[in-house]
Chains A and B, each alone.
Chain A
Amino acid sequence: MQRREFLNILAGTAVAMLMLPLNALAAIWNKAAFEASKLEEATKNLAINGEIPSKDIEIIAPDRAENGAIVQIEITSRIPNTEAMSVFVEHNPTALIGNFMFSNGALPYLVTRIKMAETSDVKIIVKAGDKYYTNSKAVEVLENGCG
């Protein structure tokens, strides 16, 4: 039930955006997860549990980032049937960076740029079927990017 909830939250986004007025978007966006300061609290609010460590999640990020305001990350999941990826920075003021859901031929791959307040693991959680997988990459941050 919890897992289904996670998917529903993500899957509902597109449909709901077509149907709801703008001020109702707040209801789709997972406020509790995004405002959680602790990683465990964020994953709990996304109904993620029992994630399995996996080297089939590849994370390309710098070992050292000069400026935490812009840290480019590239993520590839080689786990079959990957449906969604969540990105976390454990030591940020709010740990959850984003949720990405793939459908209709989108490959489980993304490049984006994130803010990092201090040296931390970048943690990725992948959802495939009813299972969760995770991998992390440590990034040393020389200058706070969360201002």
Chain B
Amino acid sequence: MDSNMKMRAKLTGDVTEVKLIISHPMETGRKKDDAGQLIPAHFIQLVTANLNDKPVLEVQWGTGISKNPYLTFHLKGAKVGDKITVTWHDNLGKTASGEVAVVQA
């Protein structure tokens, strides 16, 4: 798993709860630094989540998501040991992925 993303996926009954947090500045482009210079916009625009390579969640974000974005979502149909993969892309062309296996809660 990438160090910039923390993920976990826990199965309770037939619902898997996926929680993730990504280390990212999510700069709006409207904030100034100590020298009074505008800090350029730097934010995640797209996030996709796959269950065993099948897309389950597709997200577009603007600058209004908090720094170090946090997301919880719920899935039906996942089993213990199934693979959840999350990939993000930001406005500067950076990208990263994280992967976690579903565990019993």
Contacts and interface: CB of A to CB of B under 8 A. Distances in A.
A26 to B, nearest CB: 8
B105 interface: no
Contacts of A114: 64-66
Contacts of A17: 46, 48, 87, 89
A92 B64 contact: yes
A146 B28 CA distance: 8
A104 B51 contact: yes
A110 B76 contact: no
Interface stretch (A47-55, A93-101, A123-131, A132-140): A93-101
Contact of A106 (B56, B63, B66, B89): B56
* Interface bin, chain B: 35 or more
A93 B64 CA distance: 9
B13 interface: no
A85 to B, nearest CB: 10
Interface residues of A, number: 44
Contact of B69 (A13, A34, A112): A112
Contacts of B66: 69-71, 113-115, 145
B59 A101 contact: yes
B55 A104 contact: yes
A25 B74 contact: no
Contacts of B71: 110-112
Interface of A: 10-11, 13-14, 17, 22-23, 25-26, 28-30, 34, 69-72, 74, 89, 92-94, 96-107, 109-115, 145-147
Which 6 A-B residue pairs are closest in the complex by CB-CB distance? A111-B72, A105-B77, A97-B64, A113-B66, A34-B62, A107-B74
5 contacts: A97-B65, A102-B56, A109-B73, A112-B65, A113-B66
Interface of B: 15, 28, 30-31, 45-46, 48-49, 51, 54-67, 69-78, 87, 89, 91, 93, 95
